[in-house]
Amino acid sequence: MTKLWTFLSALHSIAGPVVMLLYPLYASVLAIESPSKADDEQWLAYWILYSFLTLSELILQSLLEWIPIWYTAKLMLVAWLVLPQFRGAAFIYNRVVREQFRKYGILKPKVQHQTQ
């Protein structure tokens, strides 16, 4: 049982960097090189949210270390943000971040230009 627990702990330690950094870096490069704008939005939104999450962790570190499942919960949240089936990063950006920026006047609504 000890070897299984050691293996699962190592797998958990590797999963974080792969899910949070390696795959998003790879997918971001592919998005930049593709003609579609939708994937650009997804990955730019991901990096905005990941930066916010990282900054929040730095500020709340002493509180978060008392939550034993924090790393697992963070890994699950980031997996939801990353996986293309869910497009969680674009969803959160459109529903939360954009609305908050508009609410406080930081972001102005887009104006459609008329062509003559």
108 domain residue, yes or no = no
96-114, pLDDT tens digit by residue? 999 888 888 887 776 655 5
Domain enclosing residue 29, as ranges: 2-103
113 domain residue, yes or no = no
Reduced to 3 states (helix: H, G, I; strand: E, B; else coil), residue 106 is coil
Any idea how long the chain is?
116
Please give the Cα distance from 73 to 9 (Å, whole number): 15
111 domain residue, yes or no = no
36 domain residue, yes or no = yes
68 domain residue, yes or no = yes
How many domains are there within the chain? 1
26 domain residue, yes or no = yes
6-26, pLDDT tens digit by residue? 766 777 788 889 999 999 999
Is 90 in contact with 45 (CB distance < 8 Å)? yes
pTM for this entry: 0.82
